[in-house]
Amino acid sequence: MSQLDVNQKEPHNFPIQKNLNQTQRHDSIIELVINEGSVRIEDLAERFEVSVVTIHRDLDMLDARGIVRKSRGLVTAVATSLFEANPEYRRRQNVQHKKELASEAFKLVEPGQAILMDDSTTGVHLAELLPQRQPLSVITNFQQIIDKLAPHPGIALISLGGQHYQWSNAFMGSITVNTLNTLRADTLFMSTPSIVDDVCFHQHHDASLIKRAMFMAAARRYLLVDESKFSQRALHANIALTDFDAVILNHGVDNKHVDRLTEKGIKVIVASKLSD
C-alpha cells in the first residue's frame, strides 16, 4: 500500500461553497483542513467550484504562511496550525466568549496606565474598547492591535518590533525580548493556546519566550482564556496559572474549572454575560 493510500481518508461529501472571494475561501480551507487533518486537493476544488489550479494557488499561499502543507494530492494541517492558525481565522472562533473576556478585562483598565498585550485575538476585542479609557500607553507585538489603535491620538502606542512571523502576524525573536527587558508596564493581558495541568503551554518556542518576557515586564498579570483551552495540547510549558494575579474565564464556564483553580488559591474572575 502506498503512503498516499495510508494517509488518505475516505472521500468526503463536502457541501458546495461557491462564489467566495479569495479571503473567504482561504478561511474556509483553513477551517476544513484543521477539522479534518487532511483533505484531497481535488475535493477542495469541487467544494469551492474552482479549478485545481486556483486551489493549488490558494494552498501555496497558505503553505507559505505555515498553516498547511501540500503532499502528493493531499493538503494537511501543520501541527502549529491546530493552535495558531491565521489570526483572522482565530478571531472568528468563540467570538462571544472573547467579547465577554475583553469586556471583563476592560473593567480593570484605568486612564494613564501602561498596558501590555500579546498576540491574542481576544486582545483585539479589548483594543476596540481601550480608546474609552484614554490616555493610555499600549505596548504590543501584535500587528492587528497596532492597526486597531494607531488612529487614536490618546493612545501612546509602542510597537515592540523584531522579526515578523506571518503565521501569527506578530513580532518575535531576540529583538522583541530585548525591548521588553527595557520596559515596565502596569498591566499585562495575556492569552494562551493551551492549558495543561493548570500551566500555560504554547506550541511555538519563540511565542513562549515572548509571553514570558511580557509577564516579567508587568506589575499586574491577567490571563484571559475560554474553557476550550483546557482541552488543547501544546509542546512548551510556560507560566503556571498560580503566578497570575487573576485568571479571567468566559461566562458559562464549567464550574469544575472554577472550583479546581480556586482550591489552588488562584483568583478566578468569571466574565459577565453580554447581551446578544
Per domain, the residue ranges of the chain are 3-78, 88-270
Q: How do residues 161-172 score in pLDDT, each as one tens digit?
A: 999 987 788 999
pLDDT score of 18: 77
Q: What percent of the chain has pLDDT over 90?
A: 62
Q: What's the CATH number for 3-78?
A: 1.10.10.10
CATH architecture of 88-270: 3-Layer(aba) Sandwich (3.40)
Q: What is the pLDDT of residues 24-56, one digit of tens each?
A: 888 788 878 876 778 999 999 999 999 999 999
Distance CA 272, CA 31 (A): 29
Q: What is the DSSP string of the chain?
A: --HHHHHPPPPP-PPP--S--HHHHHHHHHHHHHHHSEEEHHHHHHHHT--HHHHHHHHHHHHHTTSEEEETTEEEE-TTHHHH--HHHHHTSSHHHHHHHHHHHHTT--TT-EEEE-S-HHHHHHHHHGGGG-SEEEEESBHHHHHHHTT-TTEEEEE--SEEETTTTEEESHHHHHHHTT--EEEEEE--SEEETTEEEES-HHHHHHHHHHHHTEEEEEEEE-GGGGG---SEEEEEGGGSSEEEE-TT--HHHHHHHHHTT--EEEPPPPP-
Residue 88's pLDDT is what? Answer: 55
- The fraction of the chain above a pLDDT of 70, given in percent, is 88
Do you find a cis peptide bond into 153, omega within 30 degrees of 0?
no
Residue 2: predicted pLDDT: 37
Q: Is the pLDDT of residue 68 over 70?
A: yes
Q: Which of the residue ranges 2-6, 36-40, 108-112, 272-276 would you say has the lowest mean pLDDT?
A: 2-6
Q: What is the pLDDT of residue 3?
A: 37
One fold for both 3-78 and 88-270? no
pLDDT of residue 236: 87
Question: Is 83 a residue whose pLDDT tops 50?
Answer: no
Q: Which residue has the higher pLDDT, 79 or 130?
A: 130
- Give dist(CA 31, CA 8) in Å, integer: 18
Does 127 have pLDDT greater than 50?
A: yes
